[in-house]
Structure 1
Amino acid sequence: MKLKKEQVLEFIKEYSSDFVHDEFPKITTRFLSEKLKMQRTNLSSILNQLVNEGKLVKYNGRPVLYQLADENVSGNGDVFEQLVGYDTSLKEAIASAKAAVLYPEGNPTILISAAHGSGVSHFAKTVFRFAQASGKLKTRAPWILWDCKTILNEQEKFQEIFLGDHENEGILKKACGGMLILENIDAVSERNLDWLLAFLRGEKIQGQDEWPWQKDYHCITIFSVLKDTNEMMLNLLRGRMDFRISLPSLEERSIEERFLLLQKFFKEEAKAMDRMIEVDTSILHALLLYEVTDDIKGLKNDIHTGCANSYVRSYNTGNKTIALLMSDFPNYVRKGIMYYRSYKNEIDVMIKNGCKYTFYKNQMLRDNKTAKKDIYQSIDARKRDLERHALTEEEINMAVSNQLESEFKEYFKQLCERADSIDTLKKMVSEKLISLTREFLLRAGEELSCEFSKEIFCGICLHVNSCLVKVSKKQRISNEEIARLLSKYPTHYELVKQFQTEIEKEFNVKFNVDDLIFLMMFLLEAKKDVDENKVVTLIAMHGSHAASSIAAVVNALSDDSKVQSFDMDLDKNVRTVYKELKEKIIEIDQGKGILLVYDMGSLHTMAESIAQETKIAIRCVEVPITLVGIAGSSKAAEMKSLDEVADYLQDNFSGLQYFRAKPAPEIMPEIKSETKPETEENDEEITEQTIDESSQEEDINEVFEYLGDQFPQFDIDLMKKYLLVIIGQIEHEMNLVLDEDKKIGLIVHIVCLIDKLQQQHTPSVNFMAYSVLGDFGDGRYGGLFEKMKIFLKPLEETFDVMIQDNEIATIISIIRK
């Protein structure tokens, strides 16, 4: 038999369900008393309980009114705050959505562009709830979602579907007074899109009768399109919508946001299964870092798959807690643990190693595993735990290696707690061991320029003492991890090896390789006594992720994981980029200067100005991968063959000398006497010079600007004057007009050639050029070889070089292509 409270709530829900397109009705106690045949005093008590539980809303007055609470509209706070990333990655999108909803006139049209699976429908649903909470839509307003791909090949039925007929109500009528979400709007023809937008704006459509309900029609319409839709269609849609929103993909979100998404999905699964879900840190690491297909939707589906498999596996146990195993997830998920070392510092802030995380409904609980006093026991327990996940031996070793540092820090902490003073230590270990350890650390301190704390001293003594008591031949640490540490810290290894020999001789024991590794890790805990300041490497590239991706790889592979990155977003104003680059350089400088590795000339120009402004020494090294890629793509677009594209890049870029025998002068902060005083006007002039360089158009002026940045030792304006004259003479002599590609090829090749000759580099041997030297005597190119010598003579004299015959042949071969 149902409780009275359940009967009351059930009646109110049933009564309110009839009001599907309006607000829920407000009900009095008297009304309920008559319908349910219950005393009003009892009803008041029940109704107040339901209000406290959030199931009803109470309106004080005469009479007091009660209304069913809508689960889609929260009266507390901003509904957008329930979205992961509401104050970071989604901040701009939410601001645009609020502006669209609160705009006072018309039927707003909103275009949302996003990657497939990145949460468009969820974001649209939240916009809908915001519109309800703000009073722009009624509580029971309709929410209609429709995929335009369903009529991809039936465009003639578009108006019929949206307007309906005498038998069926159209989509527009169904969505009236609410929100309409049209997915994949790019599948709709331009003609039908224009018709729909005209209808929403209340415009009279030529050749059609007016609809009586169009005048009072009100609807918030959201159009969604994939980010990888062709640019022409995107621009068409952007130009016709009132508001434009771009949602970030999972890859564009931070690791912190991805962890919040994991928590959200696990809580939802726990609630759906009515179980507590226990997750190991290795699973969380994998889910944070594996390459996801289908973006956020794919991540959610993979978590659902893992939870479902675990639920089935433990279905007959009757246990309310289910423990997820790595084998419960698709195989590609486990690959995420391979990337843990690259993101270790970020992840360890969020996820504490050696813990179990339990999710239950709206909670995430962290439970420290039983601490082991012996690090060897701790590693053994970790391996046994990972074996339950059906991981391979290689994957287990990788996971153990990834968390070795964290395991050691916990072990070191426990040792420090056991001996907090030398007096206590003397009661636990022998005087001889203390003496040998003291001599070892004095030697290591001199060799490594380090200071070793009392805690490190006590920790080594206690660790070695435990090794003397429990001699083990079993190897826990993988060979790969041992090799990595030995190659990274060879001096530490030699010091520890000598200490091992002394201990083994004195106490007649044998240490295994694990013991040596842990002794090395004790040494690595020491604080450096030398100056840490050094040159900082900064990778700066055009694009939103190029530099940061390369820096992440470098940091993962290098000994010193401190390479910095600067991504030059192409959509940003150049002044903004200049300011951000300047702030970045000031932030990372350690007093010994910046090595700027960059991809194109504008960054070099900015660096020169920043060096003068900030008095920070900057040395630039150009690696023009972006420019090479643009050139290659341009040639491929002309339907050139693979050999033609490769030859073009070889001819035009092979002469660039990024690391010169005679290095280019360092960009130092000192300003020479002839340099004009720095003023706001001068600074503005420098930044203005870089504006055109940000574009990808390869015209002649941009090439000379680029070459001017690349070869600052040249008077590029003078070089430009000579080269344009030479090109004009060639065209006149041959009675032809060289296309832009050939002009650019000649300009880049000749400038690089002169630079190479000035620095007395041995000319490159061009066998193709030698093979065609004999072809220039006859035909259209007859006499051009000798003419070219005459054309190039002023250039040779001005820049004090001598261009050999084979180089002239190369120049002519470029013209002949």
Structure 2
Amino acid sequence: MKRIDKIYAWMFERSGQMAWGSVCQRGGFTTQEIAEELAILRNNVSFELNNLLRAERIIKVKGRPVGYLPKASVEHWLGVSLSRVEYDSLEVLTALAPQNLQPIAASPTPAATGAVNNPFHSLIGADGSLKNQVEQAKAAVLYPPSGLHTLITGQTGVGKSMFASVMFNYARFAGRFAEQTPFIIFNCADYAMNPQLLMAHIFGYVKGAFTGADSDKSGLLQKANGGMLFLDEIHRLPPEGQEMIFYFMDTGTYSRLGETERKQTANVLLTGATTEDPESSLLKTFVRRIPIIINLPSFEERTTQEKIELLKFLLNKEAHRIQKPIKIDAEAMKALMGNTAFGNIGQMKSNVQLVCANGFLHCLHQDIIDITFRDLPGEIKDGFFHLSGRRDVMQQITDRLEPFLLVRPEDISPALQEADQYEPSFNLYSIIEGKVAFMQERGLSQQEIIRFITLDINIHLNSFYLKFQNSNKLQENILKLVNEDILRFAQQMKELTERELNQRLTERFLLAFSLHLTAFLERIKNHHPLSYANIDDALEGRAREHSVALALKQQIEEKFAINVPDMEVIYLTLLIGSLLKTQQEERVAVLVAMHGSSTASSMANVAHKLLGEGNIDSIDMPLDLSPKLVLDQMRQRIKELDRGKGVLLLVDMGSLLGFGDIIMQETGIPVRTLTMVSTPTVIEAVRKSAVMGMELDDIYFSLCDFKGYGSYQKTTQQQDTSQLCQKIKAILSVCSTGQGTAEKLKVFVDGMLQSMGRSDVNVIAMPLGEVDNQRESLLKRYDFIMSLGIADPKIDVPFLPLEALFSSDGEAQFTLLVQGNHLYQPLVRPHAMVRKISEESMNEFLTYLNPKKVVDLVLEFISELESVEGHPFDNGMKVSLCVHIGTALERMVQHNGLTYSGTLSDADQLKLGVYQRIAHSFQKKLAITLDDDELSCILEMVKELSMRSIEPQDELL
């Protein structure tokens, strides 16, 4: 939020809480008052007030001291339009009001009378985890002349639609929209499978535009004219739809489907929402036209107090709907909060409605709905055990909860009772009352009534929530891992199991059974014997599950023409029992730790969403984070996760490789470390821990040779083993330290691959010095098609230098290499091009520093280094050094400098002193000091690159 907008928003909101009489008594807002309230220097406030005055957004009241007021507020108070912005006194302004107006006693805005409160005041977390997001939203709504288009991002269920609704209500509260202004909500996912119909709904169409278009019809843009249009799941818009939207943003005009000219106009504030990464799911030209992007935190990122308040709010809504008080014990509240770790507030809402509906059924003839932990469904009870794995979080919640909570129907704020399209259109409690009376009349027992109604509750709630999910989403994810034939068979087996058990299974059965069957068929094909520890008593107490497993055995034998051994029947029995169990047992914990800002958490999230269970957690290790801090964090996390069976540590490279042994020695907790991990490996680890209940060593050794989920094909011919161990296509990105350029270069290259539609190529970021250490495992695992970065890592593939990548024909060379063609003949570039290419490179990697101002200073520094080293650097080396030194300067600005872990020789120590003297120019001209660690890294990089430049270079293929 810009400083000028922050000042205006504060003035506008503060004036909305005052009556004109109060304004006359205290005067306008002074420069000093604003500076103190917002912690902004007084001269900066004065500067911005003058800008607001020139823009005629505020008025100035002369006097000592001078006062300022928002022009829109004064016009609203007095009921007149002001023709100028400077006045001698407030009395002069009062005289402008109509004769019948009593301005001193008047309440100029609804907010001043208390009739309408600021909607953001009712938003849980507005002064906490959502504070910055609320400020962004206010700026978007208040920005003249008609607000700024906004994109709201965040995981499923974080409250994006609710936040958009509060934004709209705030716009009405602030006077931006009139009371009857339209607020249109549209979920793009409803028509994602039919892009033409999707765009027809948004833009409208003319007669004959497509089959079935019998007459002209206005779209949502026209219906929302003068107000706000909220497009939920906006990433479902096809590219042509996004282009039409951003053209409308630019011009305010659009065409309906079937029209050749853009002659339709509308004044609409657009707000979109997406669960995806905007950079990868939306056109870049579209994202650039959205000035404000608001990211909402997940439920886990909310404060403990906010989590409790969110639960109370949802319980209040149910009490209001039932019109009975609800009493719930602390353990039940913890279970509800713990069950939302990956489903966020949306999952909590679903769980609260289910729990309250069951409580209503059991307390039908009582004055109060009493909910205890004992009465919760098994899958919600699991939330308590998930929460107990995070002892610090559990303690914080326990400290803030009373033994029980009582909420009443009247407790909810009237402002929060507005209709929500994501609420059920039916009154579940009326349905229950009616059906109970019907069954009682026919003499059914209380136990039978409860059983039938409980089933009915689940059917109603599940069918409702499926309306707001992509029903094909899970199956699409499964098809990324298994064969379509396997998935279809799994669907049939799910129906068979439900019939046999007379119990409805979740969609997780499809995933668990598909993966298990795929692994079983692979073992049969490769003649690998089954082995599982402690199975002698596996069937005890599982008669029902065993009966179903025998039926599944028969179906598998008939379908795939194979013999299913008795051991597999036991496996199937365990699988079904695991899916049906209602309490989380002891199991091996899985901790994913990876370099990068979100790599580990993304993998863990995928595994948890697919399997829906598992004692799994993640640690992201940004490249500028100290390894010691990561070790401390990992030590604490392993202590929290361990439930007696140890922890499987899944890592990628570097210092993470040795942390497991250190922690095992310190804590005594069994830890196994698996390296070079992929997403399928994480999924398989969780499956074997959570579903199969395998021991730590069994999981570890079974994953050592895991190659992912192969597609099973029904054939009598043995496949070539080389096809079963197919390597992953990859590009190797190298830099000198592994903590700077390579990771940012990875993001850049990933974007280029996405634009080419090449999702099959991975980018591996690695320090040049580690390539030799891991060469054998890298070449065994990956099929490298090229390498790029500061120097050739010599892995027998074409190498694209950093200099060449950012040259004018760099993208063309990159594309040819990815497509398997030869490189262009590299051009001999003059020294003048080094500056240009270096600046272009820095543009990709620098966030805070201006490359135009930095590049010349860096090149001067490099020139001095050439004198110290006694030999000229080639152009590629200069570009590589430029990017590295530029990012080093930026790290100094952020106080996140690298830590040099090597040892300098005596000669290098002397040379470091010379580097310090040369680097003093950055302190003089940029007020940035490169510390000894950063300079040591630069010295090491110069030495390494110099040695490689002397080595004979392979010709580019």
Q: TM-score range by the shorter chain?
A: 0.3 to 0.5
Q: Which has the larger radius of gyration?
A: 1
TM-score (norm. length: structure 1): 0.42
TM-score, structure 2 length as denominator? Answer: 0.36
